[in-house]
Structure 1
Amino acid sequence: MFFFTIAYCLLQESLARSAIAFIVSTYLPQRESAQGSLCLSAGYLTLLLKVASIISSSDYP
């Protein structure tokens, strides 16, 4: 179950990167006006994924 948890966390990291890349490509034309909200949403997304990985890793001893 240890390897499953590592693979799950790696999957979540790649999902976070792809979602952040999608957000960046979406807000790229108005980058100067949306840079603060972009960083904020990326931070919230990373925080949610970290919390989800902690919860899922606590389910598998």
Structure 2
Amino acid sequence: MSVDPAPRPIAVRPATPADAAAIAEIYRPYVEGGTVSFELTAPDTATIGTRMAASGGLYP
């Protein structure tokens, strides 16, 4: 019988413009192959960055 290792701590922080590329990649499959978004084309990194800037720093 094996013992599960202790879970590693998780750090939660506000998204920054440096995260835009990763956010775009995470979101892409939901736009292209899912039904959870009303978008027809996955936004690119620049679009995500623009949306983040427009949110006034309140991007989740």
Structure ID, larger Rg: 2
Task: Bin the TM-score by the shorter chain.
Answer: 0.3 to 0.5
Whose RCO is larger (CA < 8 A, sep 6+)? Answer: 1
TM-score under structure 1 length normalisation: 0.34
